[in-house]
A and B are shown apart, each in its own frame.
Chain A
């Protein structure tokens, strides 16, 4: 799995609570991404990072924030979870003409 670990793998949380998902890589890759995957939509980019402390928004960034204080860690935070954020979240590394490697995914359920 190209040295990408997502945690937790599964989480159930209540509406309005904050949630943080973690992505850890051992590949020292510059670019990291957070996607969500929903039926009928495929993978949609939430946020991405092009270096430590350098992040930018993707197409579905509302309600999400990210941080990257170290090369190896990319955190995704839902400040106040909503039911519409129930999804499977994937972290990826790569881009820049290289293969994108994906983590195993985090299944988040907001009740």
Chain B
């Protein structure tokens, strides 16, 4: 069964600290993996995309890693800011066509001053 699991479910960190969010998937075939950020009351917005051949990709203070062999990805946030408080959703794309997106349930990150 195609599944995407994220951990932890929620996380509270102090402003300025780093954190790492995890995503494990069993989706096959695999085309790419995206991390989305969802602010409260808004729709998800893509942070990074990683294809099969990519191991690491950065977007500012966000760094995503992908191990396609173990089917694991992580999102590392450096020097967290209050504005990083949001839900982070891992989405795996099987490839061409419609109905090919598999969503994790997200990690709720709260950054406190």
Number of interface residues of A (CB under 8 A): 27
Let me know if B11 is at the binding interface, CB within 8 A.
Answer: no
Chain A contact surface mostly: strand
B36-44, B58-66, B73-81 - interface stretch = B36-44
B99→A42 contact, CB < 8 A: no
Let me know if A1 is at the binding interface, CB within 8 A.
Answer: yes
B34→A42 contact, CB < 8 A: no
Contacts of A42 in B (CB 8 A): 89, 103-106
B44→A102 contact, CB < 8 A: yes
Chain B contact surface mostly: loop
A95→B93 contact, CB < 8 A: yes
A48/B98 contact (C-beta < 8 A), A41-B105, A42-B89 known? yes
A95→B104 contact, CB < 8 A: no
Number of interface residues of B (CB under 8 A): 24
Let me know if B19 is at the binding interface, CB within 8 A.
Answer: no
A96→B99 contact, CB < 8 A: no
Give Cα distance in the complex from A105 to B43, angstroms: 6
A1→B46 contact, CB < 8 A: no
CB distance from A39 to the nearest CB of B (A): 9
A95→B44 contact, CB < 8 A: no
